[in-house]
Structure 1
Amino acid sequence: ICVFANNQWLLELGETLGQSPFYRALAGSRMTVVMMDKASEVLRRLWCVFEMHETSVLRQGFEFWTPLGKVGSPLVSSGPALHALGNLDVRAASATNEVDQRQIINYIAGEPEL
């Protein structure tokens, strides 16, 4: 969503996550497609974790994909993806911007945004 929702040269995220163009685009979608590589790198990116969190809160659908296809299809076993998701630790994920990182972690933890 980031590449389509945010001006990549002049980020204007708003004062809270809920005011960001990223969140508004996510709230207007029907589902989230999560692209997973072998290392499940997406689960280490805090903005991606935020996107998955909000997809769940908004009760939208998920699809998990790998370069080989949709997880759970005949070509792609769901075992590795489920294992990676089961080991997800939000505290281990990071964002490039420290303020974004603090804001997202606090938001997911249910703390008020500062």
Structure 2
Amino acid sequence: MSTSNGFNGSGAEISLWDIRQRKLISELYGHRATVNSGRFTDPTASMIISCSNDGRAILWNVQQNSIFTDLEVDNATSLTSIVSINGLNFATGGLNGKVSFIQLLNRQLQLTDQI
């Protein structure tokens, strides 16, 4: 997986690669600015969580090549990194120095805490 620079929705994608064959498998589009971080959320690699300069976290359905759900964490702050804690809980860091905790609940991402 690699993430890309972008602006106004152009070039802000996540690329999925088969590194054995050195082949692009698919690209995920939905962020409006540079995608800074992406992580698989589970061992089966069926979901990816990503964050971007657009201040959003997006949970992706890899098999359907689509957005499962998204959350605007802070539209004024670039999100620089994200981690999947257990596939249902996530943490992301931003340029504002805060760590935001996100939970997948009822098929929606929800901000649970910010420190």
Q: TM-score, normalised by structure 2?
A: 0.25
Q: Which has the larger radius of gyration?
A: 1
TM-score, normalization: structure 1?
Answer: 0.25
Q: Which has the higher contact order (CA 8 A, sep 6+)?
A: 1
Structure with more helix by fraction: 1
